[in-house]
Copies of this chain bind each other. A is one copy, B any other.
Amino acid sequence: MTSVDVARAAGVSQSTVSLVLSGKGRGRISARTEAAVRRAAEELGYRPNAAARALRTGAARSVGLVVPDVTHPFFGETMRGAQEAAWTAGYAVALVDVPLDRPLEAPLEALRAGPVDGFLYFSVEPPEWRPGGEQVVVIEASPDAFPWVRLDVEGGFDAALGHLRELGHTRIGHLTSRVPYPTFQIRTERWRAALVGAGVEPVDALRAGAGFDFDDAARAAGRLLDAAEPPTAIACDDDILAGGVYLAARERGLRIPEDVSVAGFDDLDFARVLWPPLTTVRADAERLGAVAFATLAAAIAGEELEAGQVLPVELVVRGSTGVAAG
Could you list which residues of chain A lie within 8 angstroms of chain B, going by C-beta atoms?
Answer: 45, 47-52, 54-55, 60, 62, 65, 70-73, 76-77, 79-80, 83-84, 87, 90, 92-97, 106-107, 109-115, 131, 213-214, 243, 246-247, 250, 269-270, 272-275
| Complex CA distance for A131 and B60, rounded to whole angstroms | 22
A51–B273 contact, CB under 8 A? no
The smallest C-beta distance from A264 to any residue of chain B, in angstroms, reads 12
Q: Which residues on B sit within 8 Å (CB–CB) of A272?
A: 214, 247
- The residue of chain B having its C-beta at the shortest distance from the C-beta of A55 within the complex is B51
The smallest C-beta distance from A62 to any residue of chain B, in angstroms, reads 7
B97–A94 contact, CB under 8 A? no
Q: Which residues on B sit within 8 Å (CB–CB) of A114?
A: 49-52
Q: Which residues on B sit within 8 Å (CB–CB) of A107?
A: 87
Out of B54, B70, B270, B274, name the residue touching A79 (CB < 8 Å).
B70
Out of B51, B77, B115, B131, name the residue touching A71 (CB < 8 Å).
B77
20 interchain pairs (CB within 8 A)? A49-B55, A51-B54, A51-B114, A52-B55, A55-B55, A62-B94, A70-B70, A71-B73, A71-B76, A72-B76, A73-B76, A83-B96, A87-B110, A93-B96, A214-B270, A214-B272, A214-B273, A243-B270, A247-B272, A270-B273
